Structures are given as structure tokens and as C-alpha cells.
Amino acid sequence: MPTIQNAYARLRARGFEVVSVSIDPDAATVARFRRDKQPMKWRHTLPPGGFEHPGVKAFQVTFLPRGVLLGRDGTVVAADDELRGEKLIPTVERA
């Protein structure tokens, strides 16, 4: 999470956005987590149906966490290991 927070702070002005998705069925638990443990200043969603939600299936989210980087045109330009740890910022900058 600190790597994502750093990338968001560093690259947001250049158009980088983060959308986090929680599969947790309890919105209150997610809100407390985001408020008390991991502040996330970006968009967040809790799709009804969790892993069965069409949007979740469209991005092939079958495990968590799953990272997917979309280009400005909406196409997937990177995913998973390319977006973890020290690889995140260079991958976004190349895209």
C-alpha cells in the first residue's frame, strides 16, 4: 500500500488515477479500514456480488490484490507483477 500511495502522490498530477476494489461484503468494515489503517485518497468501490460482479470478472480478478494498469484509451497495458513494489512507478511512467 505505501508504494501505491507514493505513486499516486507523485503521478496524480500527470493523470495517474487509482481505483481500489474491495470484495468484502461489509461496507462499514472497509470504511473503517480505509479511515483507520490505510488511508486511500483515491476512488474506491465495493461491487455487489464480489467476485461474481461483471466488472470484476471483466478484469479477471480472481485473487487479491490484483493490479491492472489501464492506458488513457482504456486498454490494459500492465498487470500484476509489473505493478508491484519498485516496478510500479517505472511501469506507469513508461505507459
Cis bond leading into 65, ω under 30°?
A: yes
Whether residue 83 has pLDDT greater than 90: yes
The band of 59, judged by pLDDT with boundaries at 50, 70 and 90, is confident
Contact 73, 79 (CB under 8 A): no
Q: Is pLDDT at 64 greater than 90 in this prediction?
A: no
Q: State the pTM of this model.
A: 0.81
Amino acid at 16: F
**Residue 57 to residue 59: CA distance in whole angstroms:** 5
State the amino acid at position 44 in one-letter form. Answer: H
Q: Is the Cβ–Cβ distance between 66 and 80 less than 8 Å?
A: yes
Residue 91 corresponds to which cell in the numbers above?
511501469
CA atoms of 93 and 95, how far apart (whole Å): 5
pLDDT tens, position by position, 34-54: 999 988 989 999 999 999 999
d(CA 67, CA 42): 15
